[in-house]
């Protein structure tokens, strides 16, 4: 039987404790979980691709089932390229669900062999988003509660 590969796509700018929670809860459902760091032309990133990749590698360095890869283009095409049969999406709110469902429905038409798997966030992370974290960083507010110490340490070096 072929290994089950799952893609967890996002910009991860920065990866939050909510993202980490989703990965840690989902990794046991698949043989391999690929964290796909995608380019979103609608977002201006704060961290470089290399920094985001380094953060993810450091956070998950002890788990051989998790890998991080940078990609450009449509997520569904990247999922096909890496042999993923599942795309994982974290859901915080009903607004997230509506947005993600529309994408999942479109993806199902494009690639019916790839299923989208929604995992709701844990309650303590339901309001945490990378966008809000970037705002806190811009205004020099502590972010220790919301991100892994690797990211806090990286910011302190700057």
Tokens for 154, please give them. Answer: 């990286």
What are the boundaries of each domain within the chain? Answer: 5-157
Predicted local distance difference test score (pLDDT) of residue 33: 98
Residues designated catalytic: 19, 43, 92, 130
Residue 87's DSSP bridge partners are 7, 116
Predicted local distance difference test score (pLDDT) of residue 1: 60
* Residues 122, 1 contacting (CB under 8 angstroms): no
Query: Which class in CATH covers the domain with range 5-157?
Result: alpha beta
Q: Is 46 helix (H, G, I), strand (E, B) or coil?
A: coil
Predicted local distance difference test score (pLDDT) of residue 92: 94
Tokens for 17, please give them. Answer: 């404790």
Where b means 16+ CB within 10 Å and e means fewer, 77-116 reads: ebbbeeebbbbbbbbbeeebeeebeeebeebeeebeebeb
Tokens for 117, please give them. Answer: 């798997």
d(CA 46, CA 81): 27
Tokens for 110, please give them. Answer: 């494009």
Which residues of the chain fall below pLDDT 50? none
Residue 145 backbone phi and psi in degrees, to 5: -70, -20
Predicted local distance difference test score (pLDDT) of residue 39: 87
């Amino acid at each position: 039987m072929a290994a089950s590969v799952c893609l967890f796509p996002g910009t991860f700018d920065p990866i939050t404790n909510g993202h980490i929670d989703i990965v840690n809860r989902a990794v046991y459902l698949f043989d391999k979980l690929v964290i796909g760091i995608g380019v979103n032309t609608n977002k201006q990133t704060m961290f470089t691709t290399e920094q985001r990749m380094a953060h993810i590698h450091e956070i998950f360095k002890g788990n051989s089932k998790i890998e991080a890869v940078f990609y450009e283009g449509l997520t569904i095409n990247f999922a096909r390229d890496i042999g993923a049969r599942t795309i994982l999406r974290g859901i915080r709110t009903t607004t997230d669900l509506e947005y993600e469902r529309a994408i999942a429905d479109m993806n199902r038409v494009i690639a019916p062999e790839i299923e989208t798997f929604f995992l709701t966030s844990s309650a303590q992370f339901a309001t945490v988003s990378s966008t809000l974290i970037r705002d806190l960083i811009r205004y020099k507010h502590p972010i220790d509660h919301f991100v892994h110490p690797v990211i806090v340490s990286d910011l302190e070096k700057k």
